[in-house]
Amino acid sequence: MTDGNGSASFALLDDCDSTASARSSRLYSGFVRERVCTDPARLDALDAALAQDLRDGLHAVVVGDYEFGRSLQRAQPGHAPLRFLLYARCERLSRAEVDAWLAAQDGTDTPSIAGVAHVRKSVTRDAFGAAIAAVHDALRAGDSYQINYTYRLNFDVFGTPLALYRRLRARQPVRYGALIALPDGAWVVSCSPELFVEKHGELLRARPMKGTAPRSADPQQDAASAAFLANDPKNRAENVMIVDLLRNDVSRIARTGTVRVPALFSVEPYASVWQMTSTVEAGWHDGTTFADMLRALFPCG
């Protein structure tokens, strides 16, 4: 645990559908302290300490490095952190209130100049080709059911992180945006349309996305693109594979017989793409801790 001087730290979890009658965006402020886990063996102890923090009236925001999942699943050794940021206050805001708050922080009604430049891939074409060949070999050998191969893009940023986030959310409104000023001075700027997992009362819900088609300014072509996505065998196959994996994941912490898929192959509109989304739900098993949930679901599949 670290008690830093991160008084400027805050976390905005931003939902573009938030309204005055149903405020679903959340602004965390009044940074108190941070708990950090790099060793999965300490996760239960840290979870217990976090539960006491919540009983004491603090609010927690979890920032998880994806590579932490490698250590969690004992797939590969690593030291990627799982960070628990603890704040004294949590305000629920409508979209209009988030707009006003961001404008006040930026000092202008319209977003300040910000953007990215000099985008660079983290892999060469030869390395990319070799990795894809290895993926094909693993699938043919039956060593893997599904593989998501990714690589990083490196780029230069100009303007402030807050202004960059304002410009991103204007171009691509999403339900799961995040702007986080970390206590160490780093930032998280994220605009994601996809829900990983949420818990409401006794209900656990995941909404995996697989399958994408471009939007069109022409209404007829746009409708045709959506219809193609809804009925395309390849996209349906990819989607049902991740649904199967998520069903298996949530079953580890669900009450027996409660796992279900209430929506399969839904096609949702976004600013630039149509996205195929399915919904997996399950009943929460009594006694399950946050650490249990993390071990069962992270990384998903």
Residues carrying an active site annotation: 194, 210
290-297 and 43-55 helices, crossing angle to 10°: 130
SS3 68: helix
Q: Omega before 193 cis (within 30°)?
A: no
Rounded Cα distance between 46 and 35, Å, is 8
Q: In sequence order, what are the beta bridge partners of 279? A: 263
Rounded Cα distance between 103 and 96, Å, is 11
CB-CB neighbours of 141 under 10 Å: 8
The answer to whether 191 touches 177, Cβ cutoff 8 Å, is: yes
DSSP H or E run through 30: strand 25-37
Please count the residues of the chain.
301
The two tokens of residue 190 are: 């994220």
Rounded Cα distance between 159 and 157, Å, is 7
SS3 229: helix
Query: Identity (one letter) of the amino acid at 160?
Result: T
